[in-house]
Amino acid sequence: MENTIVSVEWLHKNLEEVDLIVLDASQKSNKANMESSGKNFQIANARPVNLEKDFSDPTHKFPHMLPSPLHFEAACRKLGINKSSKIVVYDNLGIYFSPRVWWMFKAMGHSAISVLDGGLPAWKNKGYPVEPVQNAYGKQGNFKATFIAEKVKDYTFITDNLTLQQAIVIDARAANRFNGLDPEPREGLRSGHIPGSLNIPFQEVLLNGQYKTKEELTKIFAPVGTDNKTLVFSCGSGVTACIVLLASELILKNAKAVYDGSWAEWGYYDKNIAD
Q: What is the pLDDT of residue 1?
A: 45
Query: How far is residue 25's CA from residue 237's CA, in Å, rounded to a whole number?
Result: 16
Q: Is 235 a catalytic residue?
A: yes
Backbone angles phi, psi at 74, to 5 degrees: -65, -40
Q: What is the pLDDT of residue 75?
A: 95
Residue 271, classified by CB atoms within 10 Å of its CB into exposed (0-12), middle (13-18) or buried (19+), is exposed
Query: How far is residue 166's CA from residue 147's CA, in Å, rounded to a whole number?
Result: 22
CATH 3.40.250.10 fits 150-266, yes or no: yes
Beta-bridge partners for 87: 21, 113
Q: What pairing do the DSSP bridges indicate for beta strands 5-6 and 113-116?
A: parallel
pLDDT tens track of the chain, all 275 residues?
A: 468 999 999 999 999 999 999 999 998 755 555 565 667 889 999 999 999 888 987 777 787 889 999 999 999 999 999 999 999 999 999 999 999 999 999 999 999 999 999 999 999 999 999 999 887 677 899 999 999 999 999 999 999 999 999 999 999 999 999 998 888 877 778 889 999 999 999 999 999 999 999 999 999 999 999 889 999 999 999 999 999 999 999 999 999 999 999 999 998 876 556 66
Selected catalytic residue, list 107, 120, 169, 235: 235
Query: How far is residue 244's CA from residue 100's CA, in Å, rounded to a whole number?
Result: 10
Q: What is the pLDDT of residue 165?
A: 96
What residue ranges do the domains of the chain occupy?
A: 5-147, 150-266
Query: How far is residue 98's CA from residue 104's CA, in Å, rounded to a whole number?
Result: 10
Query: How far is residue 81's CA from residue 257's CA, in Å, rounded to a whole number?
Result: 24
Closest CA to 263 of 165, 169, 190: 190
**CATH class of residue range 5-147:** alpha beta
Query: What is the 3-state secondary structure of the chain?
Result: CCCCEECHHHHHHHCCCCCEEEEECCCCCCCCCCCCCCCCEEECCCEECCCCCCCCCCCCCCCCCCCCHHHHHHHHHHCCCCCCCEEEEECCCCCCCHHHHHHHHHHCCCCCEEEECCHHHHHHHCCCCEEECCCCCCCCCCCCCCCCHHHEECHHHHHHHHHHCCEEEEECCCHHHHCCCCCCCCCCCCCCCCCCCEECCHHHHEECCEECCHHHHHHHCHHHCCCCCEEEEECCCCCHHHHHHHHHHCCCCCCEEEECCHHHHHCCCCCCCCC
Q: What is the pLDDT of residue 12?
A: 98
Torsion angle (degrees, nearest 10) of CA 135, 58, 232, 183:
100
